[in-house]
Amino acid sequence: MAPSNEQHLLSTEIVNRGVEPSGPDAGSPAFSVRVRRRLPDFVHSGVNLKYVRLGYHYLINHGIYLATVPLLVLVFGVELGSLSRDELWRRLVEDSRYDLATVLSFLAVFVFTLSVYFMSRPRSVYLVDFACYRPSDDLKVSKEEFIEKVRESGKYDEATVEFQKRILQFSGMGDETYVPKQVLAGENCATMKEGRAEASAVMFGALDELFEKTQVRPKDVSVLVVNCSIFNPTPSLSAMIINHYKMRGNILSYNLGGMGCSAGIIAVDLARDMLQANPGSYAVVVSGEMVGYNWYRGKERSMIIPNCYFRMGCSAVLLSNKRRDYRRAKYRLEHVVRTHKGADDRSFRCIYQEEDDQGFKGLRVSKELMEIGGEALKTNITTLGPLVLPFSEQLFFLATVFWRHFFGGSKKTSATTVAATAAAATATAPNEKPYIPDFKLAFEHFCVHAASKTVLDELQRNLELSDSNLEASRMALHRFGNTSSSSIWYELAYLEAKERVRSGDRIWQIAFGSGFKCNSLVWQAVRRVKKPARNPWLDCIDRYPVAI
């Protein structure tokens, strides 16, 4: 039995197992009850108020001019309002004849203030374009074919095969995902040779498309950031790209390893910092995962789960801080919010790479993953909320916080907490529902990391999102599977293929991964995005959305 304080994290469902083939109950229908851990209920569970303060700290730092300029205008307006028209004209014209030094000093201070403002203002970072790798059709594998290959390999007993079959059945994945040939052939693909071969295929495939779409030469790229969690050879993946495309000798290259499915957002954050320090530059971010190299060949069920979900994929993104690229860019980067829960031992070990008892290397997934992921997600969006929620939602939120802090509940129930879906809230009386800001007012589009159907279902319930809000995530999972850090870009490609992104739209990309980390990116479309000529969805977009 689960402890009483953890029972709310468990969900149950009745599974129809068909008709009993033999035994005393032969011919009668059979059912079983499945118990799963779920995400914490964001509405009634709390997170430390310091993350709300952190969000407002970011807001104040970036909005200091919004606070001071209106005050100066008000003071100046009151001063002018106290003067008549004749007196104002006299002061402007007649007094200036005899006080030229004052006028020049005022102009000098004004020019100096404007110069400091524009020089200290961070440069805008634009997303010029991006590309997502689509493997060849001979690498497609249906769920039924996948199970048959697993059974034919002879490495798993029938119970383990059935376990993988059940996972795929409820995974939300379709029958057109991609896996490396060596996996289908049952060969040992966890070798450096096979890892480099897969890396070359997916990275160069995405980059070739990116350079073709943007007409940017590889030698024009000043910053290169590559992220891949598992496969990290020497020379590095970034060195492989530089060698293949013969890039410039003074390029700033970085290779991020072991940072999980949210590493793509970390890579964008690093590229942004590099662009702020190097004006007039291009940065390329490559995000991928080598599925074959991380294929687990053992029998431990907690380590078999990644085999069922992870599929081939890679994305390449071109960022620029050149002002002239505003005219052709698709998006402008607005916010990056990163959350790391690695100080907690449970979070640190919930996704852990190690060897099993037989010496086979793989990723061990903890049963507490949903709970830990929920806590990281709450912290992240609690910090993000004050940066993105409209003024009306902020006003209601602040009123709720103050009212409940000073007037709400008994001493036992009045401790301040934060509802993660709202980016803030406080603990409430048992029969009182907290005010929940609507994140759908902050964003037009949502690109949530397509980890699994269960995760997306729980996020939709907790964040109170509609089916259309999570359509891109569900369809990306169905068509391409979990492509790790590149999944949020396949989702954005889906929105572009559907021609849903219009000028001014705000896109929220959120991903989570080992460590445990949860990271967010916020983009704003600078123009209406038409259907691209190159897109991984073009041959099948008319079939989507599909019922899952």
Sign of the torsion angle spanned by Cα atoms 90, 93, 97, 99: positive
The residues carrying an active-site annotation are 261, 340, 445, 449, 478, 482
**Contact in structure between 320 and 126 (CB atoms under 8 Å):** yes
119 exposure class (CB count in 10 Å sphere: 0-12, 13-18, 19+): exposed
Report the distance separating Cα 134 and Cα 315, nearest Å: 10
Report the distance separating Cα 83 and Cα 81, nearest Å: 5
**Contact in structure between 288 and 315 (CB atoms under 8 Å):** yes
**Contact in structure between 480 and 177 (CB atoms under 8 Å):** yes
Q: What is the secondary structure of 262-292 as a DSSP string? A: THHHHHHHHHHHHHHHSSS-EEEEEEE--TG
196 exposure class (CB count in 10 Å sphere: 0-12, 13-18, 19+): middle
**Contact in structure between 47 and 384 (CB atoms under 8 Å):** no
**Contact in structure between 476 and 487 (CB atoms under 8 Å):** yes
Q: What is the rounded radius of gyration, in angstroms, for the C-alpha atoms of the chain? A: 27
In 316-390, alpha helices (H): 345-349, 369-388
Terminal Cα-to-Cα distance of the chain (whole angstroms):
32
Q: Which of 10, 132, 1 is nearest to 454 (CA)?
A: 10
Q: Note the residue count of the chain.
A: 548
Half-sphere exposure (Cβ direction) of 125: Cα atoms closer than 13 Å: 25
Report the distance separating Cα 63 and Cα 70, nearest Å: 12
Report the distance separating Cα 67 and Cα 46, nearest Å: 30
**Contact in structure between 254 and 238 (CB atoms under 8 Å):** yes
Enter the DSSP assignment of 440.
Answer: G
Q: How many CB atoms lie within 10 A of CB 128?
A: 21
Enter the DSSP assignment of 368.
Answer: T
